[in-house]
């Protein structure tokens, strides 16, 4: 049997833990895994592009556990009442190749992206950052605001979206949190939102080289968390922002970011830093309060690996095990055909999910 977390499952986990502690815990897991960067089998994700969007597979493994995520990005979906980004994923035991967990990752992608953004900002943004502009107020936006509020102490959020209803929705959801120290300001333009901000998060969805931020909007000391540009031909920053002499650009995994990130606009030898080097002390996240730091995020498989392992452990800690019969467990492993003729009993039914886990080599504990 394979452990399963669907939409109700993630609602239950978040209901018990709360989104902010979940993201704080997940950020710790991601940080631990990024510190052992060298142990992971890494590759750029496999992407199939269409005029409407992209469908991607994101695998990685540390030799003990393997994970992959299926994720799409279809910016025109919202006009049809559908999400821009949906996802699910699998965690598997490398020793047997057996899947351990099949999980929803649509909600979890929003949580892990926000956790990753806030983690990067902890290393890159000025520590006195209290004001953040949030450009693009769609599905991901609440998660980013909650993560930056709780993990970085951001108190004021300046919101802008070309769709005023999205901004109203975000403001409503943030007000409903009832946080005393969280202020929200609705802005009439990107420039209005960005002026005086310490951190600018761009979260727009548009399948083109958009120019959401232009050079004159950027002040010394700002941290840019550029999340929405994540495909070839889909960017958010004017290239001159990346070229600023005082700019420091950090990416998740260079071979993927060179193709998908803001840095696709730059020559292949333009110097950038991988976040793992910042975490391991091999490169600075920020050298001075005046630097402009840019986290050019596209989303990397390692954060999904961390998220899947985190979910798997939480679900079992909360004694909420739910399993599905995705893989047959047979009395005679050579008699697969017996499943069809009824002559080979399924072991799983007899020993239950815990019995299968006892045979697994995987021991999991949270960081």
Are the CB atoms for 308 and 101 separated by under 8 Å?
yes
Residue 146 C-beta: closest distance to ligand NAD, Å: 14
Residue 354 C-beta: closest distance to ligand NAD, Å: 35
- CB of 19 or CB of 75, closer to ligand NAD: 75
CA atoms of 285 and 125, how far apart (whole Å): 8
CA atoms of 137 and 149, how far apart (whole Å): 16
Are the CB atoms for 308 and 2 separated by under 8 Å?
no
CA atoms of 136 and 203, how far apart (whole Å): 5
Residue 339 C-beta: closest distance to ligand NAD, Å: 39
- CB of 10 or CB of 227, closer to ligand NAD: 227
Residue with tokens 């004017």: 238
- CB of 64 or CB of 76, closer to ligand NAD: 76
Q: How many residues does the chain have?
A: 367
Residue 261 C-beta: closest distance to ligand NAD, Å: 9
- CB of 139 or CB of 152, closer to ligand NAD: 139
The residue at minimum Cβ distance from ligand NAD is 138
Q: Which of these is catalytic: 33, 161, 198, 230?
A: 230
Q: Does the active-site annotation cover 240? A: no
Residue 41 C-beta: closest distance to ligand NAD, Å: 20
CA atoms of 229 and 54, how far apart (whole Å): 13
At 234, list the tokens. Answer: 């889909």
- CB of 162 or CB of 324, closer to ligand NAD: 162
What Rg do the C-alpha atoms of the chain give, in angstroms? 21
**DSSP tag of 231:** B
Q: Is 70 exposed, middle or buried (0-12, 13-18, 19+ CB in 10 A)?
A: middle
**DSSP tag of 258:** H
CA atoms of 41 and 31, how far apart (whole Å): 17
Handedness of CA 87, 88, 91, 92 (dihedral sign): negative
Are the CB atoms for 67 and 301 separated by under 8 Å?
yes
Q: Which residues bind ligand NAD (CB under 6 A)?
A: 73, 75, 78, 84-85, 109, 113, 135-140, 161-163, 166, 203-206, 210, 212, 227-228, 230, 297-299
Please count the other Cβ atoms lying within 10 Å of the Cβ belonging to residue 213. Answer: 24
Residue 30 C-beta: closest distance to ligand NAD, Å: 12
- CB of 237 or CB of 356, closer to ligand NAD: 237
SS (H, E, C) 22-36: HHHHHHHHHHHHHHC
Give catalytic residue positions.
230
């Amino acid at each position: 049997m394979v452990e399963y977390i669907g939409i109700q499952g993630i609602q239950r986990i978040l209901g018990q833990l709360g989104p902010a502690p979940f993201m704080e815990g997940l950020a710790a897991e991601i940080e631990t895994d990024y510190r052992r960067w060298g142990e992971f089998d890494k590759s750029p994700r496999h992407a199939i592009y269409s005029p409407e969007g992209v469908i991607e597979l994101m695998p990685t493994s540390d030799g003990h556990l393997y994970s992959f995520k299926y994720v799409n990005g279809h910016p025109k979906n919202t006009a049809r009442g559908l999400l821009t980004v949906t996802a699910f994923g699998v965690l598997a035991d490398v020793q047997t190749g057996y899947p351990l967990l099949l999980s929803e990752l649509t909600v979890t992608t929003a949580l892990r992206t926000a956790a990753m953004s806030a983690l990067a900002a902890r290393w890159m943004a000025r520590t006195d950052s209290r004001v953040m502009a949030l450009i693009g107020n769609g599905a991901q936006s609440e998660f980013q605001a909650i993560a930056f509020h709780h993990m970085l102490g951001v108190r004021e959020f300046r919101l802008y979206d070309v769709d005023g209803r999205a901004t109203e929705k975000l403001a409503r959801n943030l007000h409903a949190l009832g946080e005393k120290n969280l202020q929200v300001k609705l802005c009439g333009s990107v420039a209005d939102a960005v002026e005086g901000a310490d951190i600018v998060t761009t979260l727009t969805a548009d399948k083109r080289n958009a120019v959401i931020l232009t050079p004159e909007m950027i002040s010394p000391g700002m941290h840019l968390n550029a999340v929405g540009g994540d495909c070839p031909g889909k960017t958010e920053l004017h290239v001159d922002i990346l070229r600023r002499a005082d700019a420091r650009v950090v990416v998740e995994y260079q071979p993927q970011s060179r193709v998908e990130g803001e840095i696709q606009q730059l020559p292949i030898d333009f110097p950038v830093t991988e976040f793992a080097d910042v975490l391991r002390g091999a490169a600075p996240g920020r050298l001075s309060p005046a630097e402009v730091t840019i986290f050019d995020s596209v989303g990397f498989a390692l954060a999904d690996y961390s998220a899947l392992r985190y979910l798997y452990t939480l679900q079992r800690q909360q004694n909420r095990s739910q399993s599905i019969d995705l893989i047959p467990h047979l009395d005679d492993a050579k008699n697969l055909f017996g499943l069809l003729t009824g002559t080979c009993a399924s072991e799983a039914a007899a020993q239950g999910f815990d019995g299968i886990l006892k045979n697994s080599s995987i021991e999991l504990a949270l960081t």
